[in-house]
Amino acid sequence: MAKLPKLPNIVRGKDYIETKDWSIKEIELALRTAGDLKKMFKQGKSHRYLPDKTIFLFFFDKSTRTRNSFEAGATQLGAHAHFIAAETSQVAHGESPKDMGIILSSYGHAIAIRHDLVPGEGNTYMRQVAEYANVPVLNMQCDIDHPFQTLADLMTIREEFGKNLRGKKIAVSWAYAPSYAKPMSVPQGLITLMPRFGLDVVLAHPPEYKLMESEVEYAKKAAKENSTKFEIVDSMDEAFEGAHIVYPKSWGIESLFHTPEKALEISKKYKHWVCDEKKMKLTKKDSIYMHCLPADRGYEVTDAVIDGPHSRVFPEAENRLHTCKAIMALTM
């Protein structure tokens, strides 16, 4: 077997809880590594950077792409991933994040957690685990950020438009969905990451669907520091006008996550917030439609758009595997 290229030790042992925790240089390393691993995967070349290592995948919420990208990715890197549903563990009986962090650290080489449904809980929980763990803690989605998703999003955008994204506009918009009050972490992750990498960001939402103030303030600061733009509008059409990338998805109301049915009732006023062909005509000719999936077809987006020529949702979903592997390989 050919010898694998050596990976830098810059982020070995580092937690990956929010993209804000990593410098631009560190995120560039992750993107470069993801690209190299993707190439090896496509060429069928072995890339077992983590032989005999173990990662624990701790889920407080459901998952398709995240669980499978981690499990498949760990296997391809030569590691083993343990899936743990929170309700089947002693956490359901009140075991503390401190105890879990100490004990799982002694059994393996990383702890990954998804805890995303209630504002004020998930990120705090992960950071408590990380305080006592002596292995990297990785965020598979919390209430504040979804850092593996947005890293894959940035990778996908660069594959489409190149590394220099100056002057490119991304519209991050709320969209109507009747299924459940979805977490705020994806739009928050987008507005805090993309201005750091050259994109001008326009955020659109109805008045009730504001994002967390801390994340909006960070987005403003990141745009200022990186000479990009960040603005908030109350019209999906206005956000889509001249956009190169559109990312319409639903999310809940921060103050109503304990009573999600109220948020869903309010959302019925905004059924017209749907990404359809008419709205796509407002965008640039070569624009792309993105979504973290699963999308509520017929509500958030029409079939004509998600299955149409603008859509990049499937390459975007595939890149979840490669960015996931990059972070594991670099930190574990």
Question: What does the pLDDT look like over 51-63, one tens digit per residue?
Answer: 999 999 999 998 9
240-260 mean pLDDT = 96
201-217 mean pLDDT = 98
| pLDDT of 218 over the 80 cut | yes
| pLDDT of 252 over the 90 cut | yes
Alpha-carbon torsion 131, 211, 225, 22, what sign? positive
Residue 272 confidence (pLDDT)? 97
- Of 79 and 260, the one with more pLDDT: 79
8 Å CB contact between 291 and 171: no
Strand partners, 46: none
**What domains does the chain contain, in order, with CATH numbers?**
19-146+320-331 (3.40.50.1370), 149-316 (3.40.50.1370)
| pLDDT of 263 over the 90 cut | no
Residue 91 confidence (pLDDT)? 87
In which residue are the tokens 């438009």 written? 161
- Of 238 and 2, the one with more pLDDT: 238
What is the pTM for the complete model shown? 0.97
Confidence of residue 92 (pLDDT cuts 50, 70, 90): confident
Give the Cα separation of 296 and 42 in Å (integer): 30
Closest CA to 97 of 55, 60, 64, 63: 60
Residues of the chain with pLDDT > 90: what percent?
93
Residue 202 confidence (pLDDT)? 99
Closest CA to 58 of 19, 124, 110, 117: 110
| pLDDT of 1 over the 60 cut | no
Average pLDDT of the chain to the nearest whole number: 97
